[in-house]
Amino acid sequence: MSNIALKDVKPQKETLFESWVYRIPALLFETESKTLLAFAEQRRSEDDSSAKNLVMKKGKLKKDKISDVRTIEWSDFKLLEEAHLEGHRSMNPCPVYDKTQKTLFLFFICVEGTVSEGWQRKHYINKARLCYITSKDLGETWSRLTDLTDQLGEIKTWATFAVGPGHGLQTESGRLIVPTYAYTSSCSSCCFFCYKKCCKCNDPYALSLYSDDSGQTWQFGKMLQKESIECEMAEIFYDKDKSFIYCNARTKGGYRMEAVSVNEGKAFSMLNRVEKLVETGSGCQGSVVSFPAQNEGAGGNPSQNKNKWLLFTHPSDKTSRINLGVYLNKSPGDPNAWSKPWIINEGPSGYSDLAYIGDGWFVCLMECGEKKETEQIASVVFSYNKVNQGIGE
């Protein structure tokens, strides 16, 4: 088959959530059991204020011995009744797994009633709470809800905030990191009613929430220095044991925001503007994962060094949420090293979440549809070799 023909072959989509309005996909892969956990919001309508429940499905990774192709066998749909706070709606699922204690954390926010994010920003009154539930058996059973809001003083100073959405991570040193963003509310009395007309008091900034004791205690890092909204983070290695935390965030400025941290997410330094990663319209969430640098001369097998590359998914159009693209970066930290996108879903495409499942293979959970991106959430499985073919390298 020619290279041109290979580029035209799109990975096959499998629908996970539909019939209701399902939005905000989140995905986690547990390496020992080869298990995928897919999460989403169940809503009454497309509106953010109509969120009703968090839901999940479990997937078992399968490998064809002859073709070496990976597939996922998904379980039945499950409603997460434990992820509920009376009088609030649950939003923005963000899973992170602690390998030390073999504990799955599912973070989310609980927002009072139908209060919108816009109302909270306008009135500088936070109605969101930071919550999580845990599981010791990969989602078969769950703990009662834990509300961290009153334990973290920073939240009291914000107009509102959210986690993720998408996955968190655990660094090789053991730190758990949950990507977060918050709208500041330090507005002076002279501009209390201006709603951003004469000050920067109501801008959003990405930051990390992290734990160094397997989730017993949590604290926030410092905010990024430039306006940034929904974000995801990944651990990357440049040389041997020297690691960095990479952050990729949604913006309103036409291009994605990139930043790196040398202290495991406590504080970030901004990278140059990512002109190869365009933002879509007023912005859209995107997903990023790191994975072992591939030995391209040996059929895509991981190389022996610890260096890692990055994969990123996001709608590739400048104005509309269409044509979900996969972007590759073999030199993390260099905004000019991003590839052009390989389109894995033509047409309406929204939020997405990536998971690296080993041996050069990935799974992407994405919002998509025929007329609107909110029609369903589907999964696609693809290899690094397919990405290389798709971007033409």
Known catalytic residues? 48, 351, 367
For 155, half-sphere exposure in the C-beta direction (CA atoms, 13 angstrom radius) is 20
Q: Which class for 195: exposed (0-12), middle (13-18), buried (19 or more C-beta within 10 A)?
A: middle
- Do the Cβ atoms of 293 and 302 come closer than 8 Å? yes
Return the closest-CA partner of residue 46 out of 376, 321, 277: 376
Q: 98 forms bridges with which residues in the sheet?
A: 103
Structure-block tokens of residue 284: 């859209």
Q: How far apart are CA 324 and CA 249, in angstroms?
A: 17
CA distances (Å), 338 to each of 216, 274, 313, 330, 361, in order? 37, 9, 12, 8, 19
CA–CA dist 393, 390 (Å, integer): 8
Q: Are 61 and 53 in contact (CB under 8 A)?
A: no
Write down the H helix ranges in the chain.
3-7, 117-123, 384-391
Rounded Cα distance between 361 and 6, Å, is 17
Q: Are 316 and 278 in contact (CB under 8 A)?
A: yes
Q: What is the DSSP annotation of 279-322?
A: --TT----EEEEEEPEEGGGTTEEPSS--EEEEEEEE--SSSSE
Q: Tell me how long the chain is.
A: 393
Count CA atoms within 13 Å of residue 333 on its CB side: 16
CA distance 164 to 382: 24
